[in-house]
Amino acid sequence: MKKILLLPVITVVFLCCTNAKKEVTDIKDTKIALRADTVNVVKLSDTLVINESTCRGCAYENSTAFAIKDSLNVIKLLTVETSDTNPPDMAGGNISKRLILIPVKAGTTNLKMYKFWKGIPATVTDSIPFTPYTIEVRN
């Protein structure tokens, strides 16, 4: 009697564990969050993300803009996604900005990401602060 009950239990446990591992290996996330403190090694098929934010309810909320300068034209800025997870009646906080970039060819490049708060066209004082990224794109 114990053998008859033990066999279905072992089978169910084995199938559940096998299925969970299969689902995890099937998920392929190709979004890479870039870091400024290291060389970012990515593939040509990856999507690159830079996470930024801007103040919510301040004078610069609607005028925040981004630009990139790539030394070898290896990376292209595709879009900037904006999301506000704060309640509508809340004063202050931050609005999340995600810069979506794509590599267009293989190579190693130095990328400068500029954040403008005063709008376009930018002034000289706007272009002084930037965040540098080193990116190596492989096939």
Bridge-partner residues for 133, per DSSP? 111
Dihedral sign computed on CA atoms, order 15, 16, 20, 21: negative
In this prediction, residue 26 carries a pLDDT of: 42
Domain range list for the chain: 31-138
Q: Using the predicted structure, report yes or no on whether residue 122 has a pLDDT greater than 80.
A: no
Could you tell me which residue, 59 or 21, shows the higher pLDDT?
A: 59
Convert the pLDDT of each residue in 73-105 to its tens digit: 999 999 999 999 888 888 888 999 999 999 999
User: Residue 10 — φ and ψ, nearest 5°?
Assistant: -65, -40
| pLDDT tens figures, 2-45 | 666 666 667 766 666 654 444 444 445 579 999 999 999 999 99
pTM comes to: 0.71
Architecture field, domain 31-138:
Sandwich (2.60)
